């Protein structure tokens, strides 16, 4: 299957017991027997950049956990535009609204190739009732979504475009242990910051000229953390 395909690729049944990010995600604290007791299938998906996990308004049947990669939550605006309201990384949970409503509130689209677990809502709802650890983890994940949304308001939607971009780069940079990190397109940056694609492009180009970020064909090389921080707090 080609990269940039629209649908995630099914890899197999998830092996939660040996999952390397299990402790970060919903099922931390569950014993192996408890994991075995899950009847419905938890699927392990690999999704290329561009793949859509679900679409805004579609019936919500599953919750997802991100094991690697980067996922965006996008909302379509009445005037035809779109706004990205969340960036989700390993350890984050996607589509919690499936547990209390019957429709997804956003479109979830993969930004960087991702490994993702798809968990039927019934599984989570049952574990929520039977396992205090899962229950607590669920509340924490929900609060995490609120915190992330708040951060989008205060950091990525406040101040000058330049300051917002600096904060976005810092936010993205936090995840950069791997140097194969690829920047979002200028269009996505615009949708993240509530500015136009052209303004996003201008600012990035200017940052590069000023030596604040270094990249090669969109791939991250390095950045001036200190100067970016200064801009972010202006």
Partner DNA sequence: GCGTGCGATTGACAATTGTCAATCGCCGGC
Partner DNA sequence: GCCGGCGATTGACAATTGTCAATCGCACGC
Kindly give, in sequence order, each residue whose CB lies less than 8 Å from that of residue 94, ignoring residues fewer than 6 positions away. 53, 63, 64, 65, 66, 71, 73, 88, 108, 116
Instruction: Report strand pairing: 219-223 vs 213-216.
Output: antiparallel
Which residue's CB is nearer to DNA, number 61 or number 199? 199
| Window contacting its own copies (CB under 8 A); options: 42-50, 174-182, 197-205, 226-234 | 226-234
Q: How far is CA 11 from CA 43, 121, 122, 171, in A?
A: 8, 20, 21, 30
Tell whether residue 83 is a contact of DNA (CB under 7 A): no
Please name the residues in contact with 57: beta carbons below 8 A apart, sequence gap of 6 or more: 103, 104
Question: Which positions from 131 to 170 touch DNA by CB under 7 A, shown as an x/- string?
Answer: -----------------------------xxx--------
Q: Smallest distance from the beta carbon of 82 to DNA, in angstroms? A: 13
CA distance linking residue 7 with residue 71, whole number of Å: 14
> 202 touches which of DNA, its own copies, none (CB within 5 to 8 A by kind)?
DNA
69-98 mask for its own copies (x: CB under 8 A)? ------x-xxx-x-x-x----------xx-
Report the partner that residue 45 touches, choosing among its own copies, DNA, none (CB closer than 5 to 8 A by kind): none
Out of its own copies, DNA, none, what residue 143 binds, judged by CB under 5 to 8 A for its kind, is: its own copies
Torsion 9-11-104-108 (CA) sign: negative
User: Does the protein bind DNA through residue 128 (CB under 7 A)?
Assistant: no
- Rule CB under 8 A: which of 190-209 touch its own copies? 194
Closer Cβ to its own copies, 68 or 148, answer by number = 148
226 touches DNA by CB under 7 A: no
CA distances from residue 99 to 42, 79, 188 in whole angstroms, order as listed: 16, 30, 28
- Contact by Cβ (8 Å): 47, 84: no
**Residue 115: how many other CB atoms lie within 10 Å:** 20
Q: How far is the CB of 108 from DNA (least distance, A)?
A: 19
Residue 199 per-residue DSSP state: H
Q: Shortest Cβ distance from residue 54 to its own copies (Å)?
A: 16
Phi and psi at residue 226, in whole multiples of 5°? Answer: -65, -50
Extract the tokens encoding 179.
Answer: 């140097």
Q: Which stretch binds its own copies (CB under 8 A): 27-35, 149-157, 177-185, 216-224?
A: 149-157
Please give the residue ranges that form the binding site for its own copies (CB under 8 A): 75, 77-79, 81, 83, 85, 96-97, 99-101, 105-106, 129, 132, 136, 138-140, 142-143, 145-147, 149-150, 152-154, 157-159, 194, 232-234
């Amino acid at each position: 299957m080609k990269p940039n395909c629209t649908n995630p690729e099914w890899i197999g049944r998830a092996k939660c017991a040996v999952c390397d990010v299990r402790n970060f995600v919903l099922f931390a604290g569950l014993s192996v027997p408890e994991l075995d007791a899950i009847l419905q299938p938890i699927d392990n998906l690999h999704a290329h950049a561009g793949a859509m996990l679900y679409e805004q308004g579609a019936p919500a049947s599953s919750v997802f956990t991100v094991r690697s990669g980067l996922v965006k939550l996008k909302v379509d605006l009445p005037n035809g535009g779109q706004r990205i309201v969340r960036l989700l990384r390993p350890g984050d949970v996607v589509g919690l609204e499936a547990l209390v409503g019957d429709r997804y509130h956003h479109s979830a689209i993969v930004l960087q190739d991702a490994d993702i677990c798809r968990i039927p809502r019934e599984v989570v709802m049952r574990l929520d009732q039977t396992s205090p650890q899962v229950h607590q983890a669920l509340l924490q994940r929900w609060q995490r979504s609120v915190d992330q949304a708040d951060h989008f308001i205060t950091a990525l939607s406040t101040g000058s475009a330049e300051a917002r971009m600096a904060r976005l780069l810092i936010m993205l940079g936090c995840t950069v242990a791997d140097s194969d990190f690829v920047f979002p397109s200028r269009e996505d940056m615009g949708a993240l910051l509530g500015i136009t694609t052209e303004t996003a492009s201008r600012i990035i180009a200017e940052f590069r000229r000023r030596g604040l970020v270094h990249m090669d064909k969109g791939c991250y090389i390095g950045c001036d953390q200190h100067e970016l921080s200064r801009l972010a707090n202006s």
